[in-house]
Amino acid sequence: MTRPVVGIIGNMNLLNNDYPVHAGGTMNSAAVAQVAGCMPLLIPTDPRFVTVEELLARCDGFLLTGGRPNVHPEEYGEAETEAHGTFDRCRDAVTLPLVRACVARGQPFLGICRGFQEVNVALGGTLDPEIRDLPGRLNHRMPPEGSIEEKFALRHVVRFAEGGVFERLMGAREVMTNTLHGQGIRTAGRGVVIDGWAPDGTAEALYVAGATGFTLSVQWHPEWNAASDPVSRPLFQAFGDAVRAWAGGGTGSAQWRARA
């Protein structure tokens, strides 16, 4: 049986520091293929090569991946500063309208890290450029040293809203997650419901109220050990269910809501 297609948002990168490529982490493809049960398709996220309309027609769902470049602050009405880091304006040009179109159509997506922030910005929200510089906040950035296992290690609790979507999906009010981000949500966008928080109050889980499709997004990286992690696995399984529901009948909502 043909698997439904999940478009994985790619990131601009340089191979050997000089050859431009669109890249995607192997762990993203593994999570989509082995846990969500869908076919991963890496998208060259550049409006010169793809249009939102083409992506909506050819993919059944989307994985909005993490990435080192940040959403440009002009996208939420602020001037660029050194604290905002590096940017990928081509990705902004594709993913922000893609999120809005998916919300309107009910087409499923799962947002991760930068993807979590993209969902918020696409719907009119704003971001803090550097969480660790805010009073009372933790350093959520990836450890600069150590193995990949150490960098993706579980580092803090995320507490979900009582009776909310994430608590029902996970079967737990609190879970342990990794943390590898510098920016975070300052103000929530239209319909964006923050459904989980780190101990310092940083937003960690969201969904879009009123959307008919799967819109769950998280600030951590559930693609790491997705097949065996008790937090990552149900998230990708629910996403896969929603993508199959969309591919089979044009709706992305009923199956994941029932499961959650």
185 Cβ contact list (under 8 Å, min separation 6): 116, 117, 120, 125, 126, 127, 128, 192, 194, 202, 203, 206
DSSP string of 129-179? S-GGGSTT----SPPSSS-HHHHTS--EEEEEPTTSHHHHHHTSSEEEE--
* Alpha carbon distance 213, 102 (integer Å): 8
Continuous segment of H or E residues that includes residue 13: strand 11-15
* Alpha carbon distance 46, 223 (integer Å): 23
Active site residue 223: yes
Continuous segment of H or E residues that includes residue 257: helix 254-259
Catalytic option among 75, 118, 204, 223: 223
Active site residue 72: no
Catalytic option among 38, 59, 102, 113: 113
Active site residue 221: yes
3-state class of 38 per DSSP? coil
Cβ atoms of 219 and 204 within 8 Å: the answer is yes
User: Residue 32: which of 71, 74, 57, 65 has the closest Cα?
Assistant: 65
Catalytic option among 72, 84, 181, 221: 221
Q: How many CB atoms lie within 10 A of CB 98?
A: 27
Q: Which residues are catalytic?
A: 113, 221, 223
